[in-house]
Structures are given as structure tokens and as C-alpha cells.
Amino acid sequence: MKNRRGKPVSKKNSKKQLDSSNQTAASVPAETKVEAPSPMTSLKDSQPSEQDNYMEIVKIDPYLKPYNGYFLNRYSKFQDWLKIIGSEGGIDSFSKGYNKFGFTISDNDITYREWAPSAVEASLVGDFNNWSLESNKMTKDKYGVWSVVVPHLLVKGVKVPAIPHGSKIKISMISQNGERIYRIPAWSKYVVQDLSVSPLYDAIFYNPGPELLYKPINKRFSPPQDLRIYEAHVGISTTEMRVGTYNEFTRDVLPRIKDLGYNAIQLMAVMEHAYYASFGYQVTSFFAPSSRCGTPEDLKRLIDVAHGMGISVFLDVVHSHASPNIEDGINNFDGSDNCYFHSGPRGHHDLWNSRLFNYDSFEVVRFLLSNLRYWIEEFGFDGFRFDGVTSMIYNHHGIGTGFSGHYDEYFSGTTDESALVYLMLANYMTHTLYPGFVTIAEDVSGMPALCRPVAEGGVGFDYRLAMSIPDMWIKYLKELSDDDWNMGHIEFQLVNRRHTEKSITYCESHDQALVGDKTLAFWLMDKEMYTNMSDLTPLTPIIDRGMALHKMIRLLTFGLGGEGYLTFEGNEFGHPEWLDFPRDGNNSSFQYARRQFNLIDDELLRYKYLYRFDKAIASLEEQYKWLTSKDQYTSLKNEGDKVVVFERGNLLWAFNFHPTNSYTDYRIGCPKSGIYKQVLNSDDPYFLGHGRVDPNSEYFTVNEEWNNRPNYIQIYLPSRTAIVYSIAK
């Protein structure tokens, strides 16, 4: 059965826990105590004795001291895994399972290996042997691995591959209950769908000749520290009502991303998924790039061209669950309920209708770690965004659970230690073998130490998504009038992140673009976006307000919210429509499964102003690097004036959210004396502003304390305007 995975449960819950994903250590009471140990192998006592060593993360965050025993035992289990993996040559060798499993090709033959421990008989079948069950029977070793060697053919004295490139193939098995079953090889590198024959996917033997292989010409590089991420989905990246291709994305979208100033792309829905409307979150073939968008070579070219533009490429990794599909997935692969997944209820995610991996299994861990290595080695990805981490790391999967930030919620029996240790292995492997590699966790719970190195006792991610921030903005736009916006609360939500753990901030991602939700632009202007977005029409109050707040919200979030920034494609210019994939509920329509980039190319439309402003923000960050700045200070949160002022990256930022009041000679504190000039102004006519501030004005400091700063300047700050200043002298 093929169902769309809805929005992650953890994201739905996040509306009720706006603060939890950015918890600071100081927000946890000092009297925090452990009530129960976590269910770990060899866990003896969650309270360490005085002579026990403290993990580094406990030294960083003293509130974790009562849980030191938990971290010691978790780290011990991680070390146990490294010892087990060492029996196969270490994590480097172990994580290259794709060189052993699936199809390997030598000069003389083709070997096929597959782990299917519950099967009692197996055969390799396909076009090459007329689907004969007898021609290529497989043998099973003591570990449950089946294998067969198929010698190459000799045609006119020349060796020809026994299985031609492009042949359809399957493994046929007899299950323990005597049933004959057919499965797509779990390590398939290319699978295709021919709807004229069947809705099911077919595995294709992928062995193109040298002339068809794409050879990268650009060197890989470590992603920059100041990540500006453009989240994208290749299939929707065309203006036409169809599935876009890797080659079209390379030709049409990469130049736009480069022009905007983003330095990283996060590609969604790359791992093959039989159900397009799942947004790529119901993976059926983990090693195969989606054939809807082209061949594996096309994807390699996309990534290589991005590298040539100085853009890193991240993969949206789905190791939190898998599609329940059987015939074209890995569910019930060998006829059993527990080949790759937990058996029984533990192996099923009820709300997502998907299967949950057994992270205690040696071969499952090999499969998943090898999957990560494959995408790096074969395609050149520079980072991973791990989807559904909250679901992975808690036994309750975040279902019906809120997170207040109390540490007992994380370390007292609710966590899935096997999943956490797998993530530690994944992060350890990627960072050890590929220095500079980036990993991002989609976690709404705010688990402490998730984004600290494994050696310190953390889980090893580089960043977590600041998932409470978009929910905050939606809440404000949906429930509050402009006069009721709370400057202190907004500022707190943006800066409330764990010390020493980095966050990727965003106003909206793909979640807010999906049908059933609304983008910022839609919340602000949906009543008039189809009628009044032309420069030939009057600038109505709704459009004027919407454009102004869209710019201010994005600038404030980008400037204050984290150590990296993300946008979903189209949102940077206020895409006028939601995202809805073809499905039964919309008569399989592609009407909303596309991005109308043509709107920003039309000089008569107002979308170009938002595009320009987004580009200007990225350009300013590239110049001043505030995302990596260690200094950040908010000097003013005035509720009556609706003004926020802060410092970051040697810049001075002033925001006036008041709907009507403009302020003349408004004093704002500043750290350094000298002459300040504006470097970005949302009220600039180039961004559809009203041009109320002279761009050439200079502001001389007064050496007098103001708002706890040693100096101040006096500025004109119009209503619904944000201005960024730098010191000129």
C-alpha cells in the first residue's frame, strides 16, 4: 500500500512547544534529577561515582552532571560498535558494503549478493536468463547472505557482460512459509517505473559503458562555515506541469541559486520513492537516485556543476523510516517482518504508515552506513540533512509528546539508544573520513548535546534546524494583530538556542509550503496575490504591508536566528501558491507541483522586489560573515515603539515593526564611536520601499551611554522598515 507521509509528527507538535527546539542550558532548573535509567545494554547505574570521569559535554553544560552516567554508557555502546565493526576492517571498510553487496563486476564475471536471512531458497532472475528460476540459483552462508556468480559471455572471442546494461532484474525467494516471492534487489542503483505496464518499479542492471559515465571536472571542497542553504526539489523546479529533470535543474535553477548568493543546496526527494506525493519521505530504493528526474549520471553532473559554481550540495537523508511497499521496496524483503526492521508494533510508525529500522542489527547498520558512503563517494554530496531525527531518537517518536526542555525528558528512559548510537556512528564516520563534511539534524525536541562531537559524548551533528522559529512567525501572522506583536518574545525565540550548539534558522521551509499550510507570502497577501502584484496596479495596503513584513521577517530571522540560514525554493520571492503533488485528492494534477520562476523574470510584477532583497541579504552576509560572528548583543526591545535593535557581525541592525509610527532622531546604542552609514534598507525603492531615508546619510556617534552601549547615533526609522548600518570610519 502506498501512502503519502504527512508532515512529521514532531513538526506538528512544535506549535505547542515554541521554545523547546532552542533550549538553552540555563533554562533547566538546577534541581534536575534522574528518575530512571535509560534501557541500555550494560547500563548499571545512571549516577556515576565520584571517581568516574565526566564527559566533556558535562563540563560544557553543568546541568548535565546528573546524567553523566547515561552519557558514559551511551558512549561505551558506541565504542562497542566500533569494536564489532573492527572485525571487518574498521568503519572505512565496513561502510563500503556497496562494493560487496548488490552487483559487483569483475573482468570475468558478475557477482550478486543479498542479505535475506529468513529465505530458504533464492535465485537471480531477469531479462538476461528469461526469468528462469533454475539458471542462477544462489547459495546462502551462515550469516544469511545469498550469492551467485554469473560468468561473462564469450561472443566472437570477446567477453560480453553476462547481464546487459538496462536489463530488468529481481531476486526470487521462497519464504519460510513456502511462498514464492519476487523482490527488487535492496542495493539497486537504478529503478524505473513504466506506467504503461505496471505502477510498480523495476530494478535495472546499471552498468553503462565508459562513454556514458559522467566524469566530474571540479574538485570537491568543504562547505563554508556561514551556510546559506537553498532547499530544493528537482521534480518541482520547472514552471511546466510535469516532473522536472536533473539536467533542467542544472541549466535553469543552479544559475539562479548562484545569483541569489546561496552557497549550499539541500536536495530533497533524491532517494527513489514509488509515491511521488510522499515528497521523497517514503523511500523504496535507498541507493537509487529518483529516475523520474533522469539517470544517476545526470545527478552527478548537477552536483559537479554546482561545485564549479562554488556551491556545496547536501542530501536530504531518510534513515528514520522506510516505505511499507513490499514489491518495490524493502519491507518484508525475505518474507519475514523483521529483515531490515523491528518486528511487531515497534517496527511500524502508525501515523506515517512506514517501517522502522532495527538499528541493533549488524547488517542493517552496514546497509545504512554504506548508504551514506555511497552518496558521498559516487555522487559527491558534501553534507546530509537527516530527516525525522525526533522520531528516530525517542521510543514515542514524538507522537502526542511535548518538550518543555527539562532534561529528564531526554535522558530518563524515553530515548531509543540504538537509534542514537547509529547516529553517532554515522556522524563519526562522515566527519572522520571527510573532514569538513556537514550534518544537520531535523529535531524539534531540543535534545542537549545532539550537536556536539561524538568524542565529547554528543551525537555528533554540526547543526540542528531551529524548528520553533517558523511556527512562531505563523502564530503571529495567524493569531495576532500587528499592534500585539511582542518584540521581546520574537527576539527571545530567535536567540534562544543552546550555547555551543549551532542552529540553521529559517522563516519557512518545505513544510510551510505544503498544501494545508501557508507560506509567509500567503499569510500576508493571499487575498490580493492574484490581482495586485503588478506594478501597473495601485500599491494597496495589503500588498504594501505584506511586502514590507516579508522583507523584515526574513532579514530579522537571517540576522539574529542562528549560525546558518535556509530558505525553500520560491519562498525567497514570495511564490504565490502552495505545493501540492499529484494525487488522488487533486485528480493527479501538477498544477501546484511546480515553481513559477517566470514570475521574477517579469519586470511588470512585484515578485522581483522580494528576490532582490533576498539577494541583497545574502550579499551582505558574504561581506560581513555575521553567521560565524561570536559577538551578538540585543540592546533594545521596545514594546511601545515596536523596535528591536541589535549588533552582530560588526553591523548595527534596527527594526521598526510599528504599522504606522515613524521615528525621527531615534536614539540607538552602538558599541563603537565613529561614523555609521546604512548598508541595507528595506525601505529602498529598489526593494519596493518608499524611499523615506536618504541612502547617503551619515550618522555621527555621541560618546554617551545609551541602552547599555557606550555610544549612540540618532536615526530616522520609518514604520515597517529595517535598516542595517556599518561603521564607515
Question: Catalytic site residues?
Answer: 387, 442
Closest CA to 581 of 245, 243, 322: 243
Yes or no: say if 595 and 249 are a contact pair by the CB < 8 Å rule.
no
How far, in Å, CA of 549 to CA of 553, rounded? 6
Say which residue the cell 560588526 belongs to: 650
Burial of 665 (0-12, 13-18, 19+ CB in 10 A): exposed
- 557 CB neighbour count, 10 Å cutoff: 26
Give the torsion sign (CA, 573, 298, 226, 95): positive
Question: In sequence order, what are the residues at sequence separation of 6 or more whose Cβ sits closer than 8 angstroms to the Cβ of residue 11?
Answer: 444, 467, 511
- At what angle are helices 541-560 and 468-479 packed, to 10 degrees? 160
User: If residue 358 lies in a helix (H) or strand (E), which one and from where to where?
Assistant: none
Cα 223 to its chain centre, rounded Å, is 15
Separation in Å, CA 117 to CA 28, 337, 409, 499, 708 = 47, 12, 37, 46, 68
Diameter of the chain by CA atoms? Answer: 93
Say which residue the cell 518545505 belongs to: 510
Question: In sequence order, what are the residues at sequence separation of 6 or more whose Cβ sits closer than 8 angstroms to the Cβ of residue 723?
Answer: 653, 654, 678, 680, 681, 682, 683, 693, 715, 717
**DSSP structure string for 568-584:** ETTGGGT-SS-B----G
Yes or no: say if 173 and 159 are a contact pair by the CB < 8 Å rule.
no
How far, in Å, CA of 722 to CA of 362, rounded? 54
SS3 state of residue 517: strand
Number of H helices, E strands in the chain: 18, 31
Closest CA to 547 of 605, 598, 595, 604: 605
Cα 653 to its chain centre, rounded Å, is 29
Rounded to 5°, angle at Cα 318 from 188 and 515: 115
How far, in Å, CA of 487 to CA of 518, rounded? 23
Burial of 135 (0-12, 13-18, 19+ CB in 10 A): middle
